[in-house]
Amino acid sequence: MSRVSPLSQATLSFSRARHGLAPWARIAGLTVCALLTLGPVVWTVSTSLRTPAEAFDLPPQLIPSDPSTEAYRGVFGQIDVWLLALNSTLVTGLIAVGQMITAGLAGYAFARLEFRFKKPLFALVLATMMVPLQVTIVPVFLVLKSMSLTDTLLGLIIPAFPTAFGTFLMRQYFLGMPKDLGEAAMLDGAGPWRTFRSVYAPLAAPGLAIVGVLAFNYHWNEFFRPLILETSGQNYTLPLGLVSLQGNLGTGSVSVVLAGVVLSMIPAVAVFVVGQRPLREGITSAGVNR
Amino acid sequence: MTDTRIPPARAERPAAPPAKDAPRPSARDRGTRLLATLFLAPTIVGIVVFTVVPIVGSVVLSLFHWNVIDEPRFAGGSNYGAVFGDETVLVSFRNTLVFMVLAVALQLLVALALALTLTGRMPVWLRSVFRSAFFFPLVLSAASISVVMKYLFNQDFGVINWLLGFVGIAPVPWLTSENAAMVTVVLVYVWQQFGFSFLLFVGGLNNIPKEIHEAAALDGATGLRKHLSVTLPLLSPTLLVASVVGIINALQVFEQPYVLTNGGPGDSTRTVVMVIYETAFEQLRFGEASAVGVLLFVLIMAVTALQFRLSRRFVHYQ
């Protein structure tokens, strides 16, 4: 892990020795690949603006000749978009805030407090990063069932509060802060809580931003757990609602489904634009998280 | 920093009961321990309840027959016997391994080629546009993207076959023929995931000191030669991380085959996680589903361990 350039992702600042390819060929190749990468997204947006009747007409239009919001009105008519969006927002928001709290506190304890069983407890946290959710989903479902939390939003939220990766990341973050700060505060008579509260916690914001943005990105798009836990439509999150919308409709209403996809993408794209840096840092130092 | 300094909490640690004649540090020590307990409780309790107990629970459940409604019945190893005798389960393991090999190879190849190409000379703004574009799909939902891709890969009306028509390729049954369906699932998965390996490689390439490239250039190594003999060995630690994470993720693939093909046609794209889902939550055979889960876990651990073993021979640390 230490080799993955943990928290510094400087841009490529140096010019490289001569390459095999001519510069124009490299840029042309990269442009083609970028178009292939973004093409499906562009198609989704432009097709969602065509009327349901002509959505499947070929050729596809980059800019619809006759843009229509009919599909968007359609998607609001077919599924309760507001309810799905509210559910998704509640689940994602509470998980993100919850993870920032649990990871911030536990990360600080592992980095700056002394207590018994510190090493084995940290090893336990690290070990759970290796355990895929899909493998434990059956017992997790049964644990939640015994707490009467299946088919509730809380059942999605509570198990996601502890985050092994976030704890690891925040521990690294606190370890990177100068130790003298805390020792100076202790000398001035601050207890352990005051030291945390007024010295270290205020410095943790960038690290917490990484934890929060990653949590948002992952849980906003999450599909597997909601599919298993949420059985009644009123508890669906957006991805679940969209997949079932696609299943319920015939091929005729592509643009309605795509309008729903576009709506559900908006917050993810917003986070991509605003929080690209913490997102990139998180993804490169994490990976294991997914 | 003189002798008057209060000893740091750590110095007290070896003596289990705090010394009687040093009340201040011991009070602080107790405060520290209380704070540590409070700070750790949410994470540790959560991990125990939602990860440790379920791991043990998986193994225990795999030894029982249980449909949640009736009392569990002890089954011994018969769930594992049933699983190994079940054609669908065996096929799903084969599919998952085939998927893993194809998806990880393609993902690493694409990501590496793009990351290397991006190191060439170009305006800074252009480089960051490309970088953003390549990692954009990562922020989208795999389920929603699969819905979109299902339309794009449609045999009769899909844009992809329409485009291929221009170069004279007859419509491909992307989702409806057994061989093509797996390829489609791999393509959709890689389209969304390659940005992750790409970001790792961009970071790894950044860490290679400039002097090494200059030395290689002086020695006359350029282009592909240079990459093969200089860049790749230096990038090998990053390659290891990217492939380990890529493999672990690929072995858990679910959304793409679930939405694109629902495991079909036949069982040709049914993956292990799909089988776990169907066995447990559609057929209510929790014991067998747990047995499949335990086997998947063992597979993931085995592949990862093997990879680290192999890597000792091929990974060069600077």
Query: What residues in A contact B187, CB-CB < 8 Å?
Result: none
Residue A287 has pLDDT above 60, yes or no: no
Average pLDDT in the B211-226 region?
72
Helix (H) or strand (E) holding B208, with range, is none
Count of positions (residues) in chain B = 318
Give the pLDDT band of residue B318 (cuts 50, 70, 90).
Answer: low
Query: What residues in B contact A37, CB-CB < 8 Å?
Result: 133-134, 136-137, 191
Nearest to A162 among B46, B129, B216 (CB): B46
Query: Are A192 and B32 spatial neighbours (Cβ–Cβ below 8 Å)?
Result: yes
Average pLDDT in the A29-50 region?
91
**One domain, residues B103 and B131:** yes
Give the pLDDT band of residue A250 (cuts 50, 70, 90).
Answer: low
Residue B100: predicted pLDDT: 96
CATH architecture entry for A79-256: Orthogonal Bundle (1.10)
Per-residue pLDDT of B64-97, as tens digits, reads 888 877 788 888 888 899 889 899 999 999 999 9
Residue A12 has pLDDT above 80, yes or no: no
Distance (Å, whole) CA B191 – CA B256: 11
Residue B76: predicted pLDDT: 81
Residue B124 has pLDDT above 70, yes or no: yes
Give the pLDDT band of residue B317 (cuts 50, 70, 90).
Answer: low
* Pick from A129-133, A230-234, A262-266, B273-277: least confident: A129-133
Residue B25: predicted pLDDT: 56
Average pLDDT in the B102-110 region?
96
**One domain, residues B32 and B176:** no
Query: Are B255 and B192 spatial neighbours (Cβ–Cβ below 8 Å)?
Result: no
- Of chain A, the percentage scoring pLDDT greater than 70 comes to 88
Average pLDDT in the A143-171 region?
93
Exposed e or buried b for every residue in B10-36, given b needs 16+ CB within 10 A?
Answer: eebeeeeebeeeeeebbebbeebbebb
Residue A91 has pLDDT above 90, yes or no: yes
Q: Which two tokens stand for residue B218?
A: 């002086």
Query: What residues in A contact B300, CB-CB < 8 Å?
Result: 132, 135
Nearest to A283 among B28, B199, B224 (CB): B199
**Domain assignment of residue B154, yes or no:** yes
Query: Are A93 and A77 spatial neighbours (Cβ–Cβ below 8 Å)?
Result: no
Distance (Å, whole) CA A39 – CA B185: 18
Distance (Å, whole) CA A145 – CA B281: 13
A259 vs A9: which has the higher pLDDT: A259
Number of cross-chain residue pairs from A and B with Cβ atoms under 8 Å apart: 331
Helix (H) or strand (E) holding B104, with range, is helix B87-118
Q: Is B73 exposed, middle or buried (0-12, 13-18, 19+ CB in 10 A)?
A: exposed
Residue B9: predicted pLDDT: 45
Average pLDDT in the B227-240 region?
82
Give the pLDDT band of residue A8 (cuts 50, 70, 90).
Answer: very low
**One domain, residues B158 and B202:** yes
Average pLDDT in the A211-223 region?
92
Query: What residues in A contact B229, CB-CB < 8 Å?
Result: none
Please compute, for residue A155, the number of CA atoms within 13 A of its CA located in the half-sphere on the CB side: 24
**Domain assignment of residue B68, yes or no:** no
**One domain, residues B158 and B252:** yes
Nearest to A44 among B148, B254, B276 (CB): B148
B9 vs B61: which has the higher pLDDT: B61
Nearest to A37 among B137, B259, B281 (CB): B137
Domain range for B115: 78-314
The average confidence (pLDDT) of chain B is 85
Average pLDDT in the A228-241 region?
90
- Interface contact flag, B222 A60, Cβ < 8 Å: no
Residue B15: predicted pLDDT: 42
Q: Which two tokens stand for residue B73?
A: 């019945």
Residue B19 has pLDDT above 50, yes or no: no
Residue B216: predicted pLDDT: 75
* Pick from A146-155, A231-240, B217-226: least confident: B217-226
- Of chain B, the percentage scoring pLDDT greater than 70 comes to 89
Residue A64 has pLDDT above 60, yes or no: yes
Distance (Å, whole) CA B56 – CA B61: 9
Residue B313 has pLDDT above 90, yes or no: no
Distance (Å, whole) CA B245 – CA B253: 13
- Interface contact flag, A40 B191, Cβ < 8 Å: yes
* Pick from A13-17, B36-40, B118-122, B192-196: least confident: A13-17
Residue B148: predicted pLDDT: 92
Residue A289: predicted pLDDT: 38
Residue B16 has pLDDT above 80, yes or no: no
Residue A248: predicted pLDDT: 62
Give the pLDDT band of residue B18 (cuts 50, 70, 90).
Answer: very low
**Domain assignment of residue B158, yes or no:** yes
**One domain, residues B162 and B37:** no
**One domain, residues B198 and B288:** yes
**One domain, residues B51 and B174:** no
Query: What residues in A contact B286, CB-CB < 8 Å?
Result: 138, 142
Residue B289 has pLDDT above 80, yes or no: yes
**One domain, residues B148 and B36:** no
Give the pLDDT band of residue A106 (cuts 50, 70, 90).
Answer: very high
- Three state DSSP letters for B283-301: CCCHHHHHHHHHHHHHHHH
CA torsion, ordered B148, B154, B159, B165, to nearest 10 deg: 160
Q: Is B179 exposed, middle or buried (0-12, 13-18, 19+ CB in 10 A)?
A: exposed
Per-residue pLDDT of B264-276, as tens digits, reads 899 999 999 999 9
Q: Which two tokens stand for residue B1?
A: 């920093």
**One domain, residues B294 and B233:** yes
Domain boundaries, chain A: 79-256
- CA dist B246 → A210, B101, B196, B238, B293 (Å): 21, 10, 9, 12, 19
What is the three-class DSSP state of B85?
Answer: helix
Give the pLDDT band of residue B11 (cuts 50, 70, 90).
Answer: very low
Residue B240: predicted pLDDT: 86
Distance (Å, whole) CA B70 – CA B67: 6
Residue A87: predicted pLDDT: 94
Residue A76 has pLDDT above 70, yes or no: yes
Q: Which of A269, A265, A262 is nearest to A43 (CA)?
A: A262
- Interface contact flag, B280 A138, Cβ < 8 Å: yes
Nearest to B128 among A11, A41, A137 (CB): A11
Task: Give the domain CATH number at B306.
Answer: 1.10.3720.10
B124 vs B7: which has the higher pLDDT: B124
Residue B14: predicted pLDDT: 45
Q: Which of A12-21, A178-187, B86-95, B113-122 has the highest mean pLDDT?
A: B86-95
Strand B64-65 versus strand B73-74 pairing type: antiparallel
Distance (Å, whole) CA B258 – CA B278: 11
Total number of domains constituting chain B: 2
Residues 6+ apart with CB under 8 A from B84: B90
Give the pLDDT band of residue A132 (cuts 50, 70, 90).
Answer: confident
